Chain A
Amino acid sequence: MEPEPVLWFGWFRADIIAEYAPLFWQGLRMTIGVTVIGITLGTLLGLLVGMARLADARHAPARHLTRYLLRWPATVYVSFFRGTPLFVQIMLMHFAVVPLLMNPADGLVVSGELARTLRQEYGALISGVLALTLNAGAYISEVFRAGIQSIDRGQVEAARSLGLSYRRTMYHVVLPQAFRRMLPPLGNNAIALLKDSSLVSAVGLSELAYAARTVAGAYSRYWEPYLTIAVMYWILTLALAYGVRRLEHRYGRGDTR
Chain B
Amino acid sequence: MPVLRLALLAAVWLIADASVQAQSRPLVVGSSATYPPFAYETPAKQIVGFDVDVIQAVAAKAGITVRLVNTPFTGVFASLDNGDLDLVISGVTITDRRRQSYDFTAPYFEARQLIAVPASSPVKALADLAGRKVGVVTGSTADDVASRTFGRTSANIRRFDTTPLIIAELVAGGVDAAIGDNGVIAYRVQEHKGLKTVNDPGFPREYFGIVVKKGNTALRDRLNGGLKAIVADGTYARIYRTWFKTEPPPLPTQ
Q: Which residues of A contact B (CB under 8 A)?
A: 19-23, 26, 95, 98-99, 103-105, 115-116, 119-120, 123-124, 202-204, 206, 210, 213-214, 216-220, 222
Q: Contact residue range for chain B?
A: 20 to 34
Q: When chains A and B are docked, how far (Å) is the Cα of A22 from the Cα of B151?
A: 11
Q: Is the CB of B174 within 8 A of A120?
A: yes
Q: Is the CB of A213 within 8 A of B138?
A: yes
Q: When chains A and B are docked, how far (Å) is the Cα of A104 from the Cα of B158?
A: 19
Q: Is the CB of B77 within 8 A of A119?
A: no
Contact partners of A214 in chain B: CB under 8 A: 138-139, 143, 152, 159
Q: List the count of A-B residue pairs having beta carbons below 8 Å apart.
A: 77
Contact partners of B228 in chain A: CB under 8 A: none
B175 at the interface (CB under 8 A from A): yes
Q: Is the CB of B152 within 8 A of A20?
A: yes
Q: Is the CB of A218 within 8 A of B161?
A: no
Q: When chains A and B are docked, how far (Å) is the Cα of A123 from the Cα of B173?
A: 9
Contact partners of B196 in chain A: CB under 8 A: none
Q: Is the CB of A103 within 8 A of B173?
A: yes
B168 at the interface (CB under 8 A from A): yes
Q: Is the interface of A mostly helix, strand, loop or mixed?
A: helix
Q: When chains A and B are docked, how far (Å) is the Cα of A206 from the Cα of B139?
A: 15
What are 29 A-to-B residue pairs whose CB atoms are below 8 Å?
A23-B153, A26-B153, A95-B169, A95-B172, A98-B172, A105-B194, A115-B173, A116-B173, A119-B172, A120-B175, A120-B176, A202-B160, A202-B161, A203-B160, A204-B158, A204-B160, A204-B174, A210-B159, A214-B138, A214-B139, A214-B152, A217-B159, A218-B139, A218-B143, A219-B97, A220-B98, A220-B101, A220-B139, A222-B78
Given known A-B contacts A20-B152, A120-B174, A214-B138, A204 and B159 have beta carbons under 8 A apart: yes
Q: When chains A and B are docked, how far (Å) is the Cα of A200 from the Cα of B19?
A: 36
Contact partners of B174 in chain A: CB under 8 A: 119-120, 123-124, 204
Q: Is the CB of A217 within 8 A of B78?
A: no
Q: How far is the CB of B153 from chain A (nearest CB, A)?
A: 4
Q: How far is the CB of A176 from chain B (nearest CB, A)?
A: 38
The residue in chain A whose Cβ has the minimal distance to the Cβ of B118 is A104
